[in-house]
Structure 1
Amino acid sequence: MIIVLVLLLAASANTLRLDKRERRMDRQLEIALPAAEAATLVSIRRAAKTSRWNMIYRFANYRPDIVYFLRPVYVLLAGVMSAAAVLYVNQLLRFPGHYAAIAAAVVAVLVVRGLFGWQRRLFANQLFQQLPDAVQLVTSTVRSGLPVNEAFRTIAREMPQPTSGQFAIVCSELNLGRSPEEVVEEIYQRTGVAEYAMFAVTLAVQLKTGGSLAETLQTLGETVGQRVALAARAKALAGEVIFSSRALTLAPLIVGGLLYWINPQSIDLLLFDPEGNMLLAYAACSVVMGHFVIRWMIRRETAL
């Protein structure tokens, strides 16, 4: 157990060292590029290694082409700390060492995948909510007689994050000679927001066949706005179920704490008896699995 804890501490120190090195490279990038653009661009070094580390990224649920507000090194540290917490709890429950090691590894992987997935969903949700304003800005720019490329530059300058960051990448690719519909479609491929695919198809059809691009974009903006409002209403209607799932998850902890405070001997069986330890582990796993199953069902039923 001491060897495992030492290895975890060594891994934490190594991740902090790598984070310090990455911060130094980011500072050098900020010197070379304007501050507004450097914060929104994806690391070129990570993008170049995507194919090499593709399996590891998929295992960790990590997308190198998305800017995470919680740095990946901190996510890895959270996984290491969760594994250490499992090993520490095992000192009280006294399960066999190999069982504790397997449980610590599983918990660490689930924590890392969960944090990356949660950030990616939050990133996509922010893009989805800001898309109607972005489409409206493109429509107003096109109506004034300016090209679509200038509308994208305006979005990169005036829209909040993360939309401005994605369109900063779009402007960089437009400067290399790519077409507007291709770069907008790549936003969909990077983020998974289906409305950007609709945006790309609209641009492709109108720019190649002709017609009133402003009218089509206005219709698209109204459609996307209705989808955003519908998603917000579905989330509001599911609020009662979300609160119930959280209450059901926290109820065993609250009831167990109250019982231990009133009569500690009633909980001793779960903490100091081998069969009680098995029951406690089974109950904890059941509660956690039930919580995530309910969240998955809510997410599936409220998805557009």
Structure 2
Amino acid sequence: MRAPNNLNALRAFEAVSRHLSYPSAAEELNVTPAAVGHLIRGLEDTLDVELFHRATSGPTRLTLTDAARSVLPALQAGFDLLSEAVEQLKASKSRIAFTVTIPGAFADKWLLRRVERFQQRHPYYDLRIDTSNRLLDFTADRIDVGIRYGSGVWPGLVSTFLMRDEFFPVCSPALLMGKHPLRTLADLEHHLLIHDVSMQTSGVFPTWRSWLQKAGCRNEVDCNRGIQIDDSAAALQTAISGHGIALGRTTLVEHDLEEGRLVRPFQESQSCELAYYLVHKKEGENSAPVVAFKEWLISEAGAR
């Protein structure tokens, strides 16, 4: 005799055990009573054990044997676990949201133009992007992963290097023309200097003073005058609008340079030991969304 499909047979056995009736079990399983009987007989033959006592008359024609009664709890628990596993597989195809904290300027000037590529690669992940400039608590604020600009060391977080910037002056193309066109460093005296002071407490963040010194300009330009803006994106937007010259950095100005909104009047650049890092909690390093976002971000940073 050909052995039945054991899983279907076990389901039939479990259903009959609860109903003590082939017709009732058949209705639950959406098959015929004859099919249920065939599955039960096949299971008994395969296991070489009797599962039910069958009476020819009386109110209850089926009763469980001692052997069947002893394994029924374990079998029902097994089916419960199987159902949970199936639900988890279904849930794996549903959308999963996770939160990323990112400096506002970096999001505006670099990440948001690329994020569609992440969504195309991982369509079941929904990013929640927090651009708050305050230092967030990853646990209290339920942050999954972040991008930070600094030295690479943040207590309680694992950091992965992404990229480092070069700093150089940028301005609107309009400033290369007009009454005082920008041609030499001395021409800076005729234009407003825009100071990005968002990282002024770091001590190593490039400033107009440090850039001018590296460019060989000592006292020709007053590097203290101008406007101070505590937001990198706003400082660059002021330059795009033609209201001065900002000290830009590679990551934040590359697209505006490509599109012609900004130009580099001078080619001298200054490096910085600070860099962008991806950060997350130690316990989150094996989280599927964190791993996916991390791998994608590293590939994007490497493709600059």
TM class, shorter-length: under 0.3
Q: Which has the higher helix share?
A: 1
Q: RCO higher in 1 or 2 (8 Å CA, sep ≥ 6)? A: 2
Name the larger-Rg structure: 2
Q: Which has the higher strand share?
A: 2
**TM-score, length basis structure 1:** 0.23
**TM-score, length basis structure 2:** 0.23
